[in-house]
Structure 1
């Protein structure tokens, strides 16, 4: 009877999946900019905002979160999936009452909704201190400020503060877009074209 011999082999699998961060920040950036323009009074919240929230803010960020999770990023997977689902929930807050399925939220319930998202964002902000990216840290600082401003706006129904929140939202959105596009450019050129 022939003896069997075990052969030890090491298999190294190279990760060839793309960085999901630009997709996630594109979803956040474009959605935040367009929603913030409505806060400033450029146009009302309409189907463009709801569609952007669902299809770019929602799907893009959830897809990016799943991709980040597959790459082993707890922060990216958690943040992008959670904020993608935030956009879906925001769209539902507009669509469900419009469809007559449930009563519209009260200003105080929206304030609570935005406040708890602000608390969640603050904890993620603490995590960004270890990521080493000033751009991502800046996004989370301004996003935390935005959630808190919007919570106060809804609790007090202060229209003037809503305009200020709109400008903060534009800062969040453009910072997210800068970060997304900087990562794409840096990858395309193989060097730092735009710092993140």
Structure 2
């Protein structure tokens, strides 16, 4: 009878940081949706598709991968905001398919307000994390949700354009964060500040 005494196995985590994928999904979906708010084109199938496949799937995948690595903040944030994009696509598609009545302006204002409150709390958490790019994304995302809530409650088209520009800035900030993370990882040092 043999005994396996004193041996141990070390498992090295070789999985990549999934946060750049999550920020890419958020950034690309937000930029394209925001351009529709500004009036560049209507919010059609391209925006809905981007919301589902990049805003939704990419962020949920990133959230699950971050969760697996033990990053509770990124796992929660990416999963929740990925599911936000799925729910937003549902709010657009379900009425068009006759599956549900379109939400009223007040209902949409409540929907966006609760996401704004959630984002504000996540913004407070980023203060402890201390990454400026992350704080910028969450701050501008909070402002965007609040502006869109007011737009839906009041019907203000002028404020929708302002929200579009805030969303564009947030989306570009998110893309900056994603690409900076990739650049820094590839170079093995800080090349682009976060």
**TM-score normalised by L of structure 1:** 0.96
Larger Rg: 1
Q: Please give the alpha-carbon distance, in whole angstroms, between the structure 1 residues aligned to 2:69 and 2:37.
A: 36
Shift of residue 5 of structure 1? 4.9
Specify the alignment match of 1:80 in structure 2: 78
Shift of 1:12: 2.0
- Structure 1 position 7, deviation (Å): 1.1
Distance in 1 (CA, whole Å) between partners of 2:87 and 2:11 is: 38
Cross-structure match for 2:117: 119
- Correspondence for 1:89 among 87, 90, 96: 87
Q: How does 1:20-59 map to 2 (within 5 A)?
A: 20-59=18-57
CA-based RMSD of the aligned residues comes to 1.0
Tell me what 1:98 maps to: 96
Structure 2: segments with no counterpart, 5+ residues = none
How many aligned residue pairs are there? 194
Cα distance between partner residues in 2 of 1:41 and 1:108: 23
Do structure 1's residue 12 and structure 2's residue 18 form an aligned pair? no
- Take 1:44 and 1:147, find their aligned partners in 2: how far apart are those partners? 20
**Residue number in structure 1 paired with 2:142:** 144
CA distance in 1, matches of 2:134, 2:65: 18
Cα deviation, residue 103, structure 1: 0.5
1:11: Cα distance to partner?
2.5
Q: In structure 1, list runs of 5 or more residues that go unmatched.
A: none
Q: Deviations over 1:49-98 (max 9, x none)?
A: 00000000000000000000000011011000000000000000010000
In structure 2, the partner of 1:157 is 155
Comparing 154-163 with 5-14, greater Cα deviation is found at 5-14
1:87-138, Cα deviation, whole Å (9 max, x unpaired): 0000000100000011000000000000000000011111111112100011
Q: Distance in 2 between matches of 1:141 and 1:90?
A: 20
Distance, in Å, in 2 between the alignment partners of 1:157 and 1:10 is 64
Q: Write the distance in 1 (CA, Å) between the matches of 2:134 and 2:148.
A: 21
